[in-house]
Structure 1
Amino acid sequence: MSQAAQNLNWLITNFVDNTPGVSHTVVVSADGLADQLAAVASGLTSLTAGASRIFEGGAVNQTVVEMERGFLFLMSISDGSSLAALAHPEADIGLVGYEMALLVDRAGTVLTPDLRAELQGSLLN
């Protein structure tokens, strides 16, 4: 695993470990092909962007889905991929959103086309 991949892994692990209420986080590609969560995240991100265009709402900063047993947070990363985080129902959604925004900024500088290709290749092997 390259240093860049290790750095991204550290950023994501640190976010989950240090943000109260967050149980899982994953970076998903825009095509949503990796797994079921990737497809859901990609689809929701696309739907909210489409709704924003229709209503002339500007860029979508964050999508939050409130469920009976928790929250799903989505944020776009500069390269077109998305960050998805699952949080417990007791989580402070303001704190989770804030910490996610910081992570998206950091991940956006790390997630280069070469790193994306490396990570996608590791899923196929």
Structure 2
Amino acid sequence: MNEKLSWMLNDALDVPEARHAILLTADGILQAHSQGISRDEADKQAAALAGLQSLSRSTAEFCADSPTTWRQTLVEFVDGFVFIIAAGPGAYLAVSSTDKADLEVVTYRMQKLVARLGRELTSPPRWDTGSAV
């Protein structure tokens, strides 16, 4: 796991009522998590959120007559929200908050974080190193 990214994810929590932030790949692999959430819990959430994001993308036609592009998934619970946005090719940023959070502020902070981190948030393709292993 990238400790630099974990430290940077704490920026997403500088919003009142934000709880946790995780960075995950499209296939549910945890890349980084903010403080306050255990590695085990972050791993579990990364797997679940990858599935949720995939379902969100597959329902795009329900929203429009022509092909449309997924931007964000927002899930509301009695006590809070979960936000998922693209953070680069094959990478997603997820943030949870209480039900008292300002949704626009959380989303704005997430977008700013993704823009600031840029390519550091993507998972580059693996190339053959030429080793026999």
Answer with 1 or 2: which has the greater Rg: 2
Tell me the residue number matched to 1:50: 58
TM-score, length basis structure 1:
0.76
Q: How does 1:1-125 map to 2 (within 5 A)?
A: 5-16=2-13, 18-34=14-30, 35-53=43-61, 55=64, 56=66, 58-113=68-123
Deviations 1:86-122 (CA, angstroms, capped at 9, x unpaired):
10100000100111111122233223546x98xxxxx
Is the 8 Å Cα contact of residues 21 and 88 (structure 1) preserved in structure 2? yes
More strand by share: 2
CA contact (8 A) 1:79 1:108 kept: no
The aligned residue for residue 129 of structure 2 is: none
Kindly indicate whether the alpha-carbon contact (under 8 Å) linking 1:41 and 1:82 is maintained by their aligned counterparts in 2. Answer: no
Higher RCO, 1 vs 2 (CA within 8 Å, ≥6 residues apart) = 1
- 2:59 is paired with a residue whose SS is helix
Query: Could you tell me how far apart the structure 1 residues matched to 2:54 and 2:123 are?
Result: 21
Aligned residues: 112
- Alignment gaps of 5+ in structure 1: 118-125
Identity of aligned residues (%): 32
Stretches (4+) displaced over 3 A: 53-57
Q: What is the letter of the counterpart of residue 57 of structure 2? A: A
Task: Output the amino acid matched with 2:44.
Answer: Q
Structure ranking higher in helix proportion: 1
Q: 1:57 to 1:91 in 2, by over 3 A?
A: farther
Give the whole-Å Cα distance in 2 for the aligned partners of 1:107 and 1:52: 27
Q: Which runs of 5+ in 2 are unaligned?
A: 31-42, 127-133
For normalisation by structure 2, the TM-score amounts to 0.72
Counterparts of 2:12 and 2:112, CA distance in 1? 9
- Residue identity opposite 2:106 in structure 1: V
